[in-house]
Homo-oligomer: A and B are copies of this chain.
Amino acid sequence: MATIKEIAERAKVSRTTVSRVINNSGYVSEEAKKRVLQVIEETGYIPSENAKSLRTKKTKVIGVILPKISTETSSRLVKGLDHVLAKEGYQILLTNTNLETEKEIEYLRLLKSRHVDGIILSATIINQPLIDEINQLNIPFVTVGQYISGLANVLFDDYQASKDMVNYIVNKGYKQIAFIGVDEKDRSVGYLRKAGYLDAMKENHLLVEDSWVQKGIFDVESGYHCMKQMMDFSKQKPSAVLAVTDRLAIGAMQYIKEAGLSIPADIAVAGMGASELSKFISPALTTLDFSMEEVGREAAGLLLEQINGEIYHEKIKMVKYRLIERSSI
């Protein structure tokens, strides 16, 4: 592959001059410029970003750490990031922990070794070693989905979202409202959404039977299983159930249908996340639309700010959500 040296020789100028025409910087006579451009055209010369970034200390690449690569959440997030980053000439270097938390630290180091200009972490479970690693990283950084103190964060108000949904269900006339959550180590989805549910129930003076609160994992089967547990072991059957993800809700719906009950007549169901599935399943699922694409755009914006030199101790950007009324309630 051609290098700047060859171009310089062919065009009978110095490497300095070639560099100037490539980067459109400094003075170059029309004459010289023309010759250089000509040679570049002929040879199909493409400058090495690698060598360039070794000098300039900028790579124009942003590292992204994802917990799972092929989920709707991840792909919408990446879409949002790409939307604003691509315009500014940044490339995305993708990294996938596959839910193995130790890999987050590994990838943080890897991204640093590649001199990315910034990092976006789509976080699930936060622990101290991770926080320590981030703090000593010294690279523009934005977390998404979970709050980490002292950093730039793009978040949803998970607690309030959960409350809003419960209140909505209550307003629709339901009183026995059950809940399918996930591990509370996941502070946003596990802890906060559960807390929102519990507090909203209390504020509405509604009782919660123990068996109404189930804990699953992030898939459809788990929702099915939780619903079954609930129906098998509850003294009073719930008349509505709120799940913290659409997949869990859809699993619950499957069980309810199989049990010969109807939705929402016998049991109403609500999800969270506005997955594509929620729209096409029947009955269509009432859910909460957390715009992950907007999260991506916001996160990219915050990152760009930092890259351009803005300094702050902590910055929190809350992204709005929207309740989508459909026919499952």
Contacts and interface: CB of A to CB of B under 8 A. Distances in A.
B280 A44 contact: no
A230 to B, nearest CB: 21
A49 B115 contact: yes
A79 B51 CA distance: 30
Nearest to A277: B280
Nearest to A257: B282
A268 to B, nearest CB: 18
| Identical chains in the assembly | 2
Nearest to A138: B1
Contacts of A281: 280-282
B136 A44 contact: yes
Contacts of A228: none
Interface stretch (A67-75, A237-245, A317-325): A67-75
Contacts of A79: 69-70, 96
Given A82-B96, A281-B281, 12 more contacts: A44-B136, A46-B112, A47-B113, A48-B113, A49-B115, A61-B93, A70-B75, A75-B75, A79-B96, A91-B94, A276-B277, A280-B280
Nearest to A52: B113
B59 A70 contact: no
Contacts of A92: 93-94
Contacts of A280: 250, 277, 280-281
A136 B44 CA distance: 9
Nearest to A47: B113
B78 A94 contact: yes
Given A46-B109, A48-B113, A112-B46, A93 B96 contact: no
Interface in A239-298: 250, 276-277, 280-282
Nearest to A77: B70
20 contacts: A46-B109, A48-B113, A50-B53, A50-B114, A54-B54, A61-B114, A69-B78, A69-B79, A69-B82, A70-B78, A78-B94, A79-B96, A86-B96, A91-B110, A94-B94, A276-B277, A277-B277, A277-B280, A280-B281, A281-B281
A188 interface: no
